[in-house]
Amino acid sequence: MAQMNMQKMMQQARKMQEEVTKAQEEVQLLEAEGTAGGGVVKVVASGDGRIKKVTIDPDAIDPEDAGMLEDLVLAATNEALGNVGDLAQMRMNAATGGFNLPGF
């Protein structure tokens, strides 16, 4: 009887590992956007932590105040990375059934 339960647990562990591997691959393909300044700065980040695109409305460019534009880019970038991180966490939670596995 104990052998049967151990086999079942091993099957479940293999299935979860397959789901985690699939989720990790899907996370790499995720993208999320962050915006700042009412949308004058937009940043798209991918699930692998890369910035894919930065869009700046020309109206946001003030040669007299480069610091403001720098702050907007920083804010949009942090939001995009946070958003893609949230999406990745949701996908991994779905794969692990909510179990908090180290390293994921």
- Joined together, the tokens standing for residue 69 give 């534009």
Domains and CATH numbers, the chain: 2-96 (3.30.1310.10)
The structure's pTM equals 0.77
Q: DSSP for 24-85? A: HHHHHH-EEEEEEGGGTEEEEEETTS-EEEEEE-GGG--TT-HHHHHHHHHHHHHHHHHHHH
3-state DSSP call for residue 1? coil
* pLDDT tens track, the chain, 104 positions: 567 788 888 888 888 888 888 888 888 999 999 999 999 999 999 999 999 999 999 999 999 999 999 999 999 999 999 999 999 999 888 888 777 666 55
